[in-house]
Chains A and B, each alone.
Chain A
Amino acid sequence: MANERTDLMQGTLELLILNTLARESMHGYGIVQRIHEAAEDLLKVEDGSLYPALYRMEERGWIKSEWGISENNRRAKFYKLTRTGQRQLEAQRANWDRISKAVTRILQTT
């Protein structure tokens, strides 16, 4: 099964993170778990690669972070979506729809 997992295109990880954080604020580990659960292990997100993406998104103002206490009483950094991030999520969702429709159309016609 592991060999059949799909690597992600650049930009997709950001969309998945934005979408995950749209529901609630989470720490990095929670975000990866949520993505794996939702994708039923079909997508391959390398755990470490999440963090540079999170820091870049925070730099752009899409997400905000603050230290809090995790479910196992450990100090953890939680991320939440900003209003700019919400707008970015909508834009990236629309972009994704356009691309997937276009690719599907091409695959069906050729």
Chain B
Amino acid sequence: MRIDRLNFYALLNREKTAFDVEEELRFHIEMLESKYAQHGMPAGQARAAAVKRFGDFERVKQQCVNIKQRSSLVRRLLKISTILLALSGLAVNYLSVEYRVTRIGHLLIAIAIMVRLLLYVRGLGPSTFLPGTRKTVITDTPDDGPNPREA
């Protein structure tokens, strides 16, 4: 029952994310369309040109949704783990005066700090000027999930 509820919330969240991403991408296409129309292009042609210039809408949308979902889930899990570890460490230290036991408390607090640091370092991220010649058409990045058209 609990798992069903979690799945329901995850599905609901994904729908909301997909809706927001779609609105953002559609705004971009509409801006392009109105720019072309202002340059004297007929409405139909302006629309077609905007869609063509934007690229594969569904694929971009899917990638963005995947990144957003992954991001929120990992961050949430890491934040919860950090808080739980720190609290456990403090509780162990508070409840025991024995050196061997308080060392475990220190260890838990240290792990919590390391997880927090991990979040911080992940935020900095490495620079990616690699010698490879992959183009900016970065829609093939493997960690963004499968291409829905190929699936």
Using a CB–CB cutoff of 8 Å, the interface residues on chain B facing chain A are 20-21, 23-25, 27-28, 30-32, 34, 53-57, 59-60, 63-64, 67-68, 70-71, 122-125, 127-130, 132-139, 141, 144
Cβ-defined contact, B54 with A47, below 8 A: yes
Cβ-defined contact, A49 with B27, below 8 A: no
Rounded to whole Å, the gap between the CB of B78 and the closest CB of chain A is 12
Q: Which residue of B lies closest to A7 (CB)?
A: B135
Q: Which residue of B lies closest to A32 (CB)?
A: B28
Cβ-defined contact, B130 with A59, below 8 A: no
Cβ-defined contact, B138 with A13, below 8 A: yes
* A104 contacts the other chain (CB 8 A): no
Cβ-defined contact, A52 with B53, below 8 A: no
Rounded to whole Å, the gap between the CB of A61 and the closest CB of chain B is 3
- Picked from A47, A59, A72, the residue with its CB within 8 Å of the CB of B28 is A47
Give how many A-B residue pairs fall within 8 Å (CB-CB). 123
CA distance A91 to B124 in the complex (A): 10
Which size class do A's interface residues fall under? 35 or more
CA distance A60 to B128 in the complex (A): 13
Which residues of B lie under 8 Å from residue A13 when comparing CB positions? 136, 138
CA distance A6 to B20 in the complex (A): 32
Q: Which residue of B lies closest to A11 (CB)?
A: B128
Q: Which residue of A lies closest to B133 (CB)?
A: A9
Cβ-defined contact, A7 with B64, below 8 A: no
* A88 contacts the other chain (CB 8 A): yes
Which residues of chain A (70-110) have a CB below 8 Å from chain B?
70, 72, 74-77, 84, 87-88, 91-92, 95-96, 99
Rounded to whole Å, the gap between the CB of B120 and the closest CB of chain A is 8
Which residues of A lie under 8 Å from residue B136 when comparing CB positions? 7-10, 12-13, 44-46, 49
